[in-house]
A = this chain, B = another copy of it.
């Protein structure tokens, strides 16, 4: 099956909103084995919507549209769809009831505009939206399926997962697409490519594809293949991935979009161990990454963002003399921060960061991007120095990723797990 994603909304075209829906839908397409022929972002006008529908109509089997269904005046999608499908209107009782419930729950009178959500083109099948007022809609024309959903990501994902996905699956032919992604941290794309020259040849010879997918602080290696109804594909990809692991060594932290903070979580949970963090240059971002995982309260006791030197001394017990002698961005201070928070919060492990995030604050001795990462655990404590880039946002992200990677290795080295086993621990 061939599909396209159409995102409707001027706010995306003028850059006031980043379109995350299309990436999410792209991943769903990929999982369903739907070949994504492209993503279009178009204007919220009747003409643009009709033009796009005319173009894709004969080109693909499935068109998924998001956006342009909210209660406000800039949303014309539903009308444009009714016109294009030459449809009358009907009132959907299910939508009407959900809209009323939605506002009653919140103790708010139902706005008139929200009641209009229950008006839908009569040729469509309504896809229930249990998380909001704008319904999803399913149309068919000359064998092509058209799905329209609201642009609010939480609502769109709900409609797709709860209703649309199984309807699409019913239409899918027997086909098989598979990926496996190796998650790495601490090594750049060009260097990886040199490490993997020979392995890349093997991948190509096996009829598989390899993609390097870099993002701040991490490069993912995706091996993929497509076959019709052949169960061998998964094992072929898996054994190819296994052959890359000895080459990549410690840079690998997981597979298939598992995040470093999830890996840390399962390693700690498995062993009943606890963690705290002390952050200067990362400013709470490591703590945020860890607590973004549901259930992190089982192993994460807390964090101290010690931005001022005073906070480093008073809360973390860093020596004033160490700050005077070596400066805040130093091995000594990184170690004392980690040891200090480990003791204060009474945890098994602690990780710390102190560095120059930039763009200001650098010196010849400690240029912007200099970061010390400290670790304290049952095996003692140490710190490592890194040189990140010049951009504040990416420095924070890269430093946090590097800190979690060092922490991951430390947790494994003090455990009975082998590095290899730790990757497959669930």
Using a CB–CB distance below 8 Å, which chain A residues touch chain B? 10-20, 22-30, 36-43, 48, 70-74, 108, 111, 113-114, 152, 154, 179, 181, 189-191, 193-194, 200, 209-215, 220, 222, 257, 276-277, 279, 282-288, 290-292, 294-297, 300-308, 310-311, 314-315, 344-346, 357-361, 389, 391-394, 396
Residue of B nearest to A295 (CB): B360
Q: Is the CB of A302 within 8 A of B306?
A: yes
B residues in contact with A346, CB < 8 Å: 310, 314
CA distance A25 to B41 in the complex (A): 13
- Give CA–CA (A301, B306) in the complex, Å: 7
Query: Which of B41, B111, B295 touches A38 (beta carbons < 8 Å)?
Result: B41
B36 touches A42 (CB 8 A): no
Main secondary structure of the interface of A (DSSP, over half): mixed
A81 CB to closest chain B CB (Å) equals: 18
Q: Is the CB of B16 within 8 A of A27?
A: yes
Closest CB of chain B to A274's CB: distance in Å? Answer: 8
Query: A287 vs B17: C-alpha distance in the bound complex, in angstroms?
Result: 23
**Count of chain copies:** 2
Instruction: Report the minimal beta-carbon distance from A281 to chain B, rounded to whole angstroms.
Output: 8
Bound form: Cα–Cα A14–B24 in Å: 8
* Min CB–CB distance A65 → chain B (angstroms): 14
* Contact call B283/A305, Cβ cutoff below 8 A: no
The 10 A-B pairs of least Cβ separation, nearest first, read A283-B291, A284-B287, A15-B27, A15-B26, A284-B284, A39-B41, A302-B311, A303-B305, A301-B308, A14-B30
Residue in A14, A72, A222 whose Cβ sees the most chain B Cβ within 10 Å: A14
Contact between chains at A392 and B16 (CB < 8 Å)? no
Q: Are B14 and A39 in contact (CB under 8 A)?
A: no
22 contacting pairs across A/B (C-beta < 8 A): A11-B213, A12-B39, A13-B26, A13-B38, A14-B30, A15-B24, A18-B19, A18-B20, A19-B39, A38-B42, A73-B193, A111-B190, A111-B191, A283-B291, A284-B287, A292-B392, A292-B393, A297-B307, A297-B308, A301-B310, A302-B305, A302-B306
Which of B36, B74, B296 touches A13 (beta carbons < 8 Å)? Answer: B36
Q: Which residue of B lies closest to A287 (CB)?
A: B284
With A284-B286, A304-B304, A345-B308 known to touch, is A189 a contact of B70 (CB < 8 Å)?
yes
